[in-house]
Structure 1
Amino acid sequence: MTVSEALRTAAHDLAGVSDTPRLDAELLMADALGITRSTLLLNRMRDQVPPSFAALLARRQMHEPVAYITGRQDFWTLTLNVTPAVLIPRSDSETLIEAAVDAIKCRPPQRILDLGTGSGALLLAALAQWPEARGIGIEASDVALAIAQSNADRLGYGERARMQHGNWRHPGWHDALPGPFDLILCNPPYVETTAALAPQVMQHEPHSALFAGDEGLDDYRFLIPALPRLLAPCGIAILEIGASQRLAVSALGSASGFDVDCRQDLAGHDRAVILRQTPPT
């Protein structure tokens, strides 16, 4: 069987598992061949199917995410290594970087903080965007910290990025942070504990990075009151939110003295709350 034929069959087989069955099949085939997807599509469609493809396809049919199967995920301009110890970076989260680029036009940030860095996605994307910046990634999981630091070193940002253990649910968690910061980014857990998630998420991604109480707001209640003491006077904080959480998170921001704005993702859903300290009158 040729690669082209196998991809058609695989896309059909994955139709009940994935919203993007053809793309998933192509990414798995490229991984089996040890090439990029673009090389696969341009030059290798008539090749014979490699023996390892069947096992990769079987894993995807069991709802394992493609990123965990291949160990890689593209985010912003970067390719990050990922494992089941970290949340898979999603294109929705790129909304935070887009919001930061639009909000910071005149004075590029020099010091960046990423709260709950996971794979390092937000911090490393920001460092790629602003070459003069340095940043710190805070993470409660030591395994995730190692992955984030490995990504930073592999991408050449090791001297500009420092990954540091921290848990915002513990008193005094921010005392060891050498602020203030010009830009704070955060994709906290924000899923309600009773939410029904797709099997590839519920069965494979770390629950500690997903769930945040009955309303999905627990972590915002810890984080937002601490942000004023971490931000520089003209700094901004940008937090990812669930599509229905704009009003609740905005209220928490206003209660902590912030001017609040919101940015939508490409699907038109509320995705990033932007917090600026209210100027003194």
Structure 2
Amino acid sequence: MTRSARMKLWLALPAVALIFVFMILPITNMVEMSFRTPGTSEPFGDDYTAMHYARIFGDGYYWGVLFRSLWTAALVTLLCLIVSYPIAWHLSKAKGMKAVLLYAAIASPLMTGVLVRNFGWMIAAALDGPVNDTLIAMGIIDAPLRLLFTQTLVILALVHVFVPFMVLPINNALRNIPPELSEAAASMGASRVAAFRDVILPLSFPGIQPGVILVYVLAVAAYVTPALLGGQMVTYMPTLIIGELTGTFRWPLGSALAIVLSLSTLGVVLAFTLFTWKWMERARA
């Protein structure tokens, strides 16, 4: 082994150690815990069983919660993409102080604590909150709507906080597109819509794909926002998992639920990656 190779190995060891300690070991422990028997005086027993997975796959309630979590994450991701692309477009064209102000506005949801942000949504969506008061004053509704503890409010709050994670990668991809390409398309008679559809959109896909994956994974794993704004009326897998781990102290069942959610999310991400593989290759060509 050459000196350069040894140096690279030594430099990589801290990263490998961090991945092993903070990723591989916890996942291994969680998988092992998911096969433990229920405990009587402790959160888990000494023997091993597959009863927790049989319970999850055989109970329609868990299937419903899992589907709701995956579907909600997909809807949040789609809404973030719709909202974020125009913002990223304007951001990619902005320069100087305008760009600084846009970056600050986009990052503003991340500058507020998660509890403060969600309590703000709770106040705004209350029966006597500003949202209902405004709708009543405008004559759109006659009586206050129950917005709090609904899936709609959870989706809106998640879109609010996850938009920056979609905007930034799309913005980077748009900035890397040479402006000469749009000019060349226009010189050949293409309209703005056609130039965007055939040139800009395909070339910006290297920013869309990672943004979609990142937002989807974050939305699936979100806990605080669904727990506070969904309450007991809307149950998601993360809240169910935390309830099993810290509420009833059934660690094996909670671990099994976490493994099922992780594998389901991984399956969706892999399917999306394979489905969009040709678009990524076309953008890189």
**Shorter-chain TM band:** under 0.3
- TM-score (norm. length: structure 2): 0.23
Higher relative contact order (CA 8 A, sep 6+): 2
Which has the larger share of strand? 1
Larger Rg: 2
Which has the larger share of helix? 2
